[in-house]
Structure 1
Amino acid sequence: MAKLLIVIPAYNEEASIVPVVEDLIEHYPQYDYVIVNDGSRDHTAALCRQHDFHMIDLPVNLGLAGAFQTGLRYAAENGYDCALQFDADGQHLPRYIAPMLELLEGGADIVIGSRFVTVKKPKSLRMAGSYLISWAIRLTTGKAICDPTSGMRMFNRKMLEEFASNLNYAPEPDTISYLIKNGAVVKELQVQMGERTAGTSYLNFARSVEYMIKMGLSILLIQWFRKRDTLTPYTERSL
């Protein structure tokens, strides 16, 4: 079985981080994990230390992209074959890790835990942005991605090295679109998402609209000007 690291970015998740990680430790001990505390201002870091969780403690808030990249760099430097982006708020369910890993080992570069492979995406104002991003990805790559905004994503060794090494590789739909356009094999697995167990998402309505517009424009326009370094092995870049 591939050596997998579960990367858990966490910012102000004191109310949910303990049960999320304890569930992984108790029921999924075959997988390693690391929490990337992204400069939390609450007791997230203190609780992780109290429970002796594996944690990388960032002194300042870097945002999701910086925290996730930190986790993937850790995975690349410590010999992991693949890595999973996993939320600290309880929405991602670990029972889907094994089937996602099976798809990855079957030839996928990236596997997305999708809510809408066999379940129809609701036609609502909240989902309008998801429809827009899916349309933009299909227009520019020819690939249909049913749930482009899902944050439950698994990456093989080749992908985690790219994310660990390139500054403009945020774990967002525009980067997934860019990688598809450059030959990455992306597969989706139907999953259910749990409800956030505590706290509130930073994505209110206004931020959600801004995010969807930004992603749409990036996929349609900016991606054509991105550059990709795949020729230099990660170990050489790290020297």
Structure 2
Amino acid sequence: MSTPSVQRVLVVLPAWNEDQSLPAVLDEIREHLPDVGVLVVNDGSADATSAVARRHGVPVLDLPFNLGVGGAMRAGFRYAIEQRYDVVVQVDADGQHDPRDVPRIVERLADADVVIGARFAGTGDYDVRGPRRWAMQVMAGTISRMAGTTLTDTTSGFRGAGPRAVRLFAVHYPAEYLGDTIESLIIALRSGLTVEQIGVSMRDRTAGRPSQSPVKAAVYLLRACLALVISLTRRRTPIRPESSVVV
């Protein structure tokens, strides 16, 4: 992977009951990203997720119960600070994100603090319709105006954080429901960070079942719109210097 020699990259995989899909994902990361660090955050799984990761020689953080993606990623950012990684890239453990896009995200982080791997940016054929699409467009439009650039997929979980964002998120990454997508971007923007996107293709899950039905997904996004309104009322979050981040 072609990155500056001073830059250490950590791929964080929040994983909840992903023991079926995780082996293929870790093998693919090892094949295409041999020079990056990898961390699996076992988010209170009831299956063999943790054991599978360890058999692949990957460090694991075992959370005592399911905190959701936000809580898992906050743990990942704190691990990155402790282990002195400069960049963190979130990759799903279900195989939907292509690790070959990680270098493109890292490269774009040279000019931005947060880079989103966007599903609706002219790459691939992923599409949603109806209430989900409407909610996503409202959120994307609102955050695009805050960011001063076009963001088409603000609910994407495929994203990278540069050094300033890693320090911020290690302390202030939202752990509550829905916070890991919309609110984290608002926190970044209100802290003076820059957010951009690149187009990526979304793949099918390699194993297991999606955690949401279409109805649940629509409810999720409607709740995300509510979370957007609430997060816009919160105070600006300062970025702490690295020396003051407690891990």
TM-score of the aligned structures, taking structure 2 as reference length: 0.87
Q: What CA deviation, in whole Å up to 9, does each residue of 1:76-102 have, x standing for no partner?
A: 111111100100000000111111111
- Which residue in the other structure is 2:99 paired with? 94
Confirm or deny that 1:23 pairs with 2:23. Answer: no
- Which residue in the other structure is 1:233 paired with? 241
- Segments of structure 1 that go 5 or more residues without pairing to the other structure are none
Q: What CA deviation, in whole Å up to 9, does each residue of 1:164-209 have, x standing for no partner?
A: 1126364212321342244321111111111111112222233322
What is the aligned counterpart of 1:118 among 112, 119, 122?
A: 122
| Shift of residue 132, structure 1, vs aligned partner | 2.3
The one-letter code of the counterpart of 2:198 is: L
Check whether the contact 2:70–2:173 (CA below 8 A) recurs between aligned residues: no
The alignment of Structure 1 onto Structure 2 pairs a total of residues equal to 237
- Which residue in the other structure is 1:223 paired with? 232
- Which residue in the other structure is 2:165 paired with? 159
- Which residue in the other structure is 2:174 paired with? 168
- Segments of structure 2 that go 5 or more residues without pairing to the other structure are none
The one-letter code of the counterpart of 2:244 is: E
Q: What CA deviation, in whole Å up to 9, does each residue of 1:42-84 have, x standing for no partner?
A: 1111222333322112222221111111011100111111100
- Change in Cα spacing, 1:164 to 1:123, as seen in structure 2 (3 Å) is closer
What is the rounded CA distance, in whole Å, between the counterparts of 2:93 and 2:238 in structure 1?
31
What is the rounded CA distance, in whole Å, between the counterparts of 2:148 and 2:245 in structure 1?
32
What is the rounded CA distance, in whole Å, between the counterparts of 1:141 and 1:185 in structure 2?
7
- Change in Cα spacing, 1:176 to 1:164, as seen in structure 2 (3 Å) is same
- Change in Cα spacing, 1:121 to 1:48, as seen in structure 2 (3 Å) is closer
| Shift of residue 142, structure 1, vs aligned partner | 4.7
What is the aligned counterpart of 2:51 among 46, 49, 54?
A: 46
What is the aligned counterpart of 2:193 among 172, 184, 206?
A: 184
- Change in Cα spacing, 1:78 to 1:154, as seen in structure 2 (3 Å) is same
- Which residue in the other structure is 1:201 paired with? 210
| Shift of residue 215, structure 1, vs aligned partner | 2.0
Check whether the contact 2:10–2:88 (CA below 8 A) recurs between aligned residues: yes
Confirm or deny that 1:14 pairs with 2:19. Answer: yes
Structure 1 SS opposite 2:206: coil
> Aligned-pair RMSD on alpha carbons?
2.2
| Runs of 4+ residues deviating >6 angstroms | none
The one-letter code of the counterpart of 1:207 is: K
| Shift of residue 122, structure 1, vs aligned partner | 4.7
| Shift of residue 18, structure 1, vs aligned partner | 0.6
Check whether the contact 1:81–1:156 (CA below 8 A) recurs between aligned residues: yes
Confirm or deny that 1:144 pairs with 2:153. Answer: no
Structure 1 stretch displaced more, 220-229 or 127-136? 220-229
Q: Percent identity?
A: 32
